[in-house]
Protein backbone atom coordinates (compact mmCIF):
# COMPACT_ATOMS: atom_id res chain seq x y z
CA UNK A 1 0.00 0.00 0.00
CA UNK A 2 1.33 3.46 -0.78
CA UNK A 3 2.69 5.76 1.86
CA UNK A 4 0.03 7.93 3.45
CA UNK A 5 0.45 11.37 4.98
CA UNK A 6 -1.64 11.36 8.12
CA UNK A 7 -2.52 15.00 7.65
CA UNK A 8 -5.83 16.79 7.36
CA UNK A 9 -4.48 19.84 5.58
CA UNK A 10 -5.74 21.01 2.20
CA UNK A 11 -4.35 23.20 -0.56
CA UNK A 12 -7.85 24.43 -1.47
CA UNK A 13 -8.11 28.20 -1.34
CA UNK A 14 -10.63 29.71 1.06
CA UNK A 15 -13.06 32.49 0.17
CA UNK A 16 -13.53 35.74 2.03
CA UNK A 17 -17.25 34.96 2.31
CA UNK A 18 -16.62 31.75 4.26
CA UNK A 19 -14.17 33.41 6.59
CA UNK A 20 -16.44 36.43 7.07
CA UNK A 21 -19.22 34.12 8.28
CA UNK A 22 -16.74 32.52 10.68
CA UNK A 23 -15.72 35.96 11.97
CA UNK A 24 -19.40 36.75 12.57
CA UNK A 25 -19.75 33.54 14.60
CA UNK A 26 -16.65 34.41 16.61
CA UNK A 27 -18.08 37.84 17.37
CA UNK A 28 -21.39 36.31 18.47
CA UNK A 29 -19.61 34.41 21.24
CA UNK A 30 -17.70 37.52 22.33
CA UNK A 31 -14.38 37.39 20.46
CA UNK A 32 -12.62 40.75 20.43
CA UNK A 33 -10.67 42.07 17.46
CA UNK A 34 -7.45 41.23 19.31
CA UNK A 35 -8.61 37.67 19.96
CA UNK A 36 -9.47 37.09 16.31
CA UNK A 37 -5.93 38.22 15.46
CA UNK A 38 -4.51 35.94 18.17
CA UNK A 39 -6.47 32.99 16.81
CA UNK A 40 -4.97 33.54 13.38
CA UNK A 41 -1.47 33.65 14.87
CA UNK A 42 -1.96 30.58 17.07
CA UNK A 43 -0.34 28.18 14.62
CA UNK A 44 0.22 25.62 17.38
CA UNK A 45 -3.58 25.32 17.61
CA UNK A 46 -4.44 25.69 13.92
CA UNK A 47 -1.70 23.93 11.96
CA UNK A 48 -2.04 20.17 11.88
CA UNK A 49 0.73 18.26 13.62
CA UNK A 50 1.01 14.48 14.01
CA UNK A 51 2.49 15.06 17.48
CA UNK A 52 0.37 17.84 19.03
CA UNK A 53 -3.36 18.23 19.51
CA UNK A 54 -5.02 21.10 17.67
CA UNK A 55 -8.42 22.58 16.90
CA UNK A 56 -9.09 20.30 13.93
CA UNK A 57 -8.71 17.29 16.21
CA UNK A 58 -11.52 18.75 18.32
CA UNK A 59 -13.71 19.40 15.26
CA UNK A 60 -13.29 15.79 14.16
CA UNK A 61 -14.27 14.44 17.58
CA UNK A 62 -10.76 13.10 18.16
CA UNK A 63 -10.22 15.25 21.26
CA UNK A 64 -12.06 17.84 23.36
CA UNK A 65 -11.48 21.16 25.09
CA UNK A 66 -11.23 20.82 28.85
CA UNK A 67 -11.13 23.60 31.43
CA UNK A 68 -8.23 23.49 33.84
CA UNK A 69 -7.46 25.15 37.18
CA UNK A 70 -6.24 28.72 37.10
CA UNK A 71 -2.46 29.02 37.12
CA UNK A 72 -0.25 32.12 37.49
CA UNK A 73 1.26 31.66 34.02
CA UNK A 74 -2.13 32.18 32.37
CA UNK A 75 -2.58 35.36 30.37
CA UNK A 76 -4.59 37.17 33.05
CA UNK A 77 -4.50 40.53 31.23
CA UNK A 78 -6.13 38.96 28.18
CA UNK A 79 -8.63 37.05 30.27
CA UNK A 80 -9.74 40.18 32.12
CA UNK A 81 -10.31 41.98 28.80
CA UNK A 82 -12.61 39.32 27.35
CA UNK A 83 -16.08 40.68 26.63
CA UNK A 84 -15.06 44.35 27.00
CA UNK A 85 -14.42 45.16 23.34
CA UNK A 86 -16.28 42.73 21.12
CA UNK A 87 -16.57 43.19 17.37
CA UNK A 88 -19.13 45.91 16.64
CA UNK A 89 -21.46 44.86 13.82
CA UNK A 90 -22.67 48.43 13.48
CA UNK A 91 -19.20 49.16 12.08
CA UNK A 92 -18.63 46.64 9.33
CA UNK A 93 -15.61 48.57 8.05
CA UNK A 94 -12.98 46.55 9.90
CA UNK A 95 -14.75 43.17 10.19
CA UNK A 96 -13.88 42.25 6.56
CA UNK A 97 -10.27 43.21 7.28
CA UNK A 98 -10.13 40.80 10.22
CA UNK A 99 -11.86 38.19 8.06
CA UNK A 100 -9.25 38.58 5.32
CA UNK A 101 -6.35 38.29 7.77
CA UNK A 102 -7.93 35.25 9.41
CA UNK A 103 -8.54 33.68 5.99
CA UNK A 104 -4.86 33.96 5.10
CA UNK A 105 -3.82 32.47 8.45
CA UNK A 106 -6.24 29.55 8.09
CA UNK A 107 -4.97 28.90 4.56
CA UNK A 108 -1.39 28.87 5.87
CA UNK A 109 -2.46 26.36 8.54
CA UNK A 110 -3.96 24.10 5.86
CA UNK A 111 -7.65 24.61 6.67
CA UNK A 112 -10.03 23.43 3.96
CA UNK A 113 -13.44 25.08 3.31
CA UNK A 114 -15.02 22.14 5.18
CA UNK A 115 -12.76 22.81 8.19
CA UNK A 116 -13.81 26.47 8.25
CA UNK A 117 -17.48 25.46 8.11
CA UNK A 118 -16.98 22.99 10.95
CA UNK A 119 -15.27 25.64 13.06
CA UNK A 120 -18.09 28.12 12.46
CA UNK A 121 -20.66 25.49 13.46
CA UNK A 122 -18.70 24.25 16.47
CA UNK A 123 -21.06 24.20 19.45
CA UNK A 124 -18.38 25.19 21.98
CA UNK A 125 -16.81 28.01 19.98
CA UNK A 126 -16.62 30.15 23.13
CA UNK A 127 -14.25 27.55 24.60
CA UNK A 128 -11.71 28.41 21.89
CA UNK A 129 -11.31 31.82 23.56
CA UNK A 130 -10.30 30.08 26.76
CA UNK A 131 -7.62 28.19 24.82
CA UNK A 132 -6.09 31.50 23.72
CA UNK A 133 -6.01 32.70 27.33
CA UNK A 134 -4.56 29.41 28.58
CA UNK A 135 -7.62 28.69 30.72
CA UNK A 136 -8.44 25.52 28.79
CA UNK A 137 -6.48 22.80 27.04
CA UNK A 138 -7.13 20.20 24.35
CA UNK A 139 -7.19 16.62 25.62
CA UNK A 140 -7.94 13.27 24.04
CA UNK A 141 -11.41 11.82 24.33
CA UNK A 142 -12.03 8.31 25.57
CA UNK A 143 -12.35 6.09 22.52
CA UNK A 144 -14.54 2.99 22.55
CA UNK A 145 -13.05 0.35 20.24
CA UNK A 146 -15.01 -2.39 18.52
CA UNK A 147 -12.34 -4.98 17.77
CA UNK A 148 -15.00 -7.55 16.86
CA UNK A 149 -15.90 -5.74 13.64
CA UNK A 150 -15.96 -7.98 10.56
CA UNK A 151 -12.65 -7.86 8.63
CA UNK A 152 -14.37 -6.93 5.35
CA UNK A 153 -15.62 -3.80 7.12
CA UNK A 154 -12.08 -2.96 8.25
CA UNK A 155 -10.15 -3.12 4.99
CA UNK A 156 -11.60 -4.09 1.63
CA UNK A 157 -8.55 -5.04 -0.46
CA UNK A 158 -8.97 -6.02 -4.10
CA UNK A 159 -8.61 -9.71 -5.00
CA UNK A 160 -8.18 -10.55 -1.34
CA UNK A 161 -9.90 -13.00 1.01
CA UNK A 162 -9.81 -13.30 4.79
CA UNK A 163 -8.15 -16.42 6.23
CA UNK A 164 -8.31 -15.62 9.95
CA UNK A 165 -9.67 -12.84 12.14
CA UNK A 166 -9.05 -12.88 15.91
CA UNK A 167 -11.80 -11.03 17.78
CA UNK A 168 -10.63 -8.40 20.25
CA UNK A 169 -13.84 -7.46 22.06
CA UNK A 170 -15.34 -4.10 22.99
CA UNK A 171 -12.81 -2.03 24.94
CA UNK A 172 -11.91 1.53 25.89
CA UNK A 173 -8.65 2.45 24.19
CA UNK A 174 -5.60 2.39 26.44
CA UNK A 175 -2.20 2.38 24.73
CA UNK A 176 -0.67 0.49 27.66
CA UNK A 177 -2.76 -2.55 26.66
CA UNK A 178 -0.96 -2.93 23.32
CA UNK A 179 2.72 -3.89 23.22
CA UNK A 180 4.93 -4.67 20.18
CA UNK A 181 6.49 -8.09 20.78
CA UNK A 182 10.01 -8.59 19.33
CA UNK A 183 10.53 -11.72 17.24
CA UNK A 184 13.34 -14.23 17.69
CA UNK A 185 15.27 -13.90 14.43
CA UNK A 186 18.15 -16.08 15.68
CA UNK A 187 18.75 -18.99 13.24
CA UNK A 188 21.93 -20.62 14.67
CA UNK A 189 23.20 -21.68 11.27
CA UNK A 190 19.80 -22.78 9.98
CA UNK A 191 17.82 -21.29 7.14
CA UNK A 192 16.22 -17.98 7.93
CA UNK A 193 12.76 -18.34 9.44
CA UNK A 194 9.62 -17.16 7.73
CA UNK A 195 7.34 -14.63 9.34
CA UNK A 196 4.76 -17.39 9.92
CA UNK A 197 7.29 -19.43 11.93
CA UNK A 198 8.31 -16.42 14.03
CA UNK A 199 4.71 -15.52 14.84
CA UNK A 200 3.96 -19.13 15.81
CA UNK A 201 6.77 -18.97 18.39
CA UNK A 202 4.80 -16.33 20.31
CA UNK A 203 2.54 -19.12 21.57
CA UNK A 204 -0.86 -18.18 22.96
CA UNK A 205 -0.34 -14.42 23.11
CA UNK A 206 -3.42 -12.51 21.94
CA UNK A 207 -2.67 -10.93 18.57
CA UNK A 208 -4.10 -7.53 17.63
CA UNK A 209 -6.24 -7.45 14.50
CA UNK A 210 -6.63 -5.06 11.58
CA UNK A 211 -9.49 -3.19 13.29
CA UNK A 212 -6.93 -1.73 15.70
CA UNK A 213 -4.67 -0.79 12.78
CA UNK A 214 -7.54 1.11 11.17
CA UNK A 215 -8.05 2.98 14.46
CA UNK A 216 -4.38 4.05 14.52
CA UNK A 217 -4.59 5.18 10.90
CA UNK A 218 -7.61 7.32 11.73
CA UNK A 219 -6.03 8.76 14.90
CA UNK A 220 -2.30 9.02 14.18
CA UNK A 221 -1.56 11.04 17.34
CA UNK A 222 -2.22 7.85 19.30
CA UNK A 223 0.63 6.06 17.52
CA UNK A 224 3.46 5.95 20.09
CA UNK A 225 6.21 8.20 18.75
CA UNK A 226 9.17 7.80 18.67
CA UNK A 227 8.79 4.27 20.12
CA UNK A 228 7.27 2.84 16.93
CA UNK A 229 9.34 4.90 14.51
CA UNK A 230 12.17 2.35 14.37
CA UNK A 231 10.10 -0.83 14.06
CA UNK A 232 7.54 -2.35 11.69
CA UNK A 233 4.44 -3.13 13.75
CA UNK A 234 2.50 -6.19 12.56
CA UNK A 235 -1.22 -6.74 13.18
CA UNK A 236 -1.29 -10.54 12.92
CA UNK A 237 -4.79 -11.04 14.34
CA UNK A 238 -6.17 -10.68 10.82
CA UNK A 239 -4.68 -12.80 8.03
CA UNK A 240 -5.52 -12.13 4.38
CA UNK A 241 -4.83 -14.06 1.18
CA UNK A 242 -4.15 -12.75 -2.32
CA UNK A 243 -2.66 -14.44 -5.44
CA UNK A 244 0.84 -14.01 -3.96
CA UNK A 245 0.04 -15.79 -0.68
CA UNK A 246 -1.15 -15.12 2.86
CA UNK A 247 -0.23 -11.82 4.48
CA UNK A 248 -0.90 -9.53 7.44
CA UNK A 249 -0.98 -5.74 7.50
CA UNK A 250 1.68 -3.67 9.19
CA UNK A 251 2.33 -0.06 10.13
CA UNK A 252 5.67 1.49 9.23
CA UNK A 253 7.09 4.96 9.80
CA UNK A 254 8.77 6.41 6.73
CA UNK A 255 9.81 9.84 8.02
CA UNK A 256 8.38 13.31 8.42
CA UNK A 257 4.59 13.14 8.77
CA UNK A 258 4.40 9.85 6.90
CA UNK A 259 3.31 6.42 8.10
CA UNK A 260 2.38 3.71 5.67
CA UNK A 261 0.24 0.61 5.86
CA UNK A 262 1.57 -2.29 3.79
CA UNK A 263 1.51 -6.05 3.41
CA UNK A 264 3.84 -8.51 5.13
CA UNK A 265 3.71 -12.02 3.62
CA UNK A 266 3.75 -14.85 6.14
CA UNK A 267 5.73 -17.35 4.07
CA UNK A 268 8.58 -15.01 3.27
CA UNK A 269 11.63 -14.10 5.30
CA UNK A 270 10.75 -11.62 8.03
CA UNK A 271 12.27 -8.15 8.16
CA UNK A 272 14.56 -7.75 11.18
CA UNK A 273 12.58 -4.67 12.24
CA UNK A 274 9.27 -6.56 12.46
CA UNK A 275 7.49 -6.74 15.82
CA UNK A 276 4.04 -8.22 16.45
CA UNK A 277 1.49 -6.15 18.35
CA UNK A 278 -0.06 -8.17 21.18
CA UNK A 279 -2.40 -7.50 24.08
CA UNK A 280 -0.41 -7.04 27.28
> Could you read off the pLDDT tens digit of each residue along the chain, which spans 280 residues?
433 333 333 445 888 888 888 988 888 888 888 888 899 989 889 988 877 889 989 998 889 998 876 554 444 444 444 344 444 444 434 456 788 888 989 998 889 899 999 999 999 898 999 998 888 999 888 999 999 988 777 776 777 889 999 999 999 999 999 999 999 887 665 678 899 999 999 999 999 999 999 999 888 888 998 899 999 999 999 999 999 999 999 999 988 778 899 999 999 999 999 999 999 9
Q: What is the model's pTM?
A: 0.72
H-helix or E-strand containing 238? strand 232-242
pLDDT at 6: 38
For the chain, give every domain's residue range: 3-140, 144-279
Closest alpha carbon to 128 in 244, 218, 45 = 45
Strand pairing category for 63-67 and 3-5 = unpaired
DSSP class of residue 13? P
pLDDT at 249: 95
Terminal CA-CA length for the chain: 28
pLDDT at 190: 60
Distance of CA 86 to the CA centre of its chain: 34
Distance of CA 201 to the CA centre of its chain: 33
What angle, 0 to 180 degrees and rounded to 10, lies between the N-to-C axes of helices 33-41 and 125-133?
80
3-state secondary structure of 124: coil
- Other beta carbons within 10 angstroms of residue 103's beta carbon come to 24
Closest alpha carbon to 21 in 142, 122, 148, 159 = 122
Cα separation, 55 vs 248, whole angstroms: 34
Closest alpha carbon to 95 in 17, 196, 197 = 17
Q: Residue 138 forms beta bridges with which residues?
A: 65
Cα separation, 11 vs 46, whole angstroms: 15
Amino acid sequence: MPGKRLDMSSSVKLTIGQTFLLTVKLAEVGFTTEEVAMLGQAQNLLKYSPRMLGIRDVLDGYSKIESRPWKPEFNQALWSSIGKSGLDFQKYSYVPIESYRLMRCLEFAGFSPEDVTKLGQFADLAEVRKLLAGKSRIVLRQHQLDLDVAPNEVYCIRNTGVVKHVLGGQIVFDQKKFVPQPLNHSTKGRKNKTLRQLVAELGDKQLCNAALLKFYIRYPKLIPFPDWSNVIVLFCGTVYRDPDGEFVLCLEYVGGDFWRCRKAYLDREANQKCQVLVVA
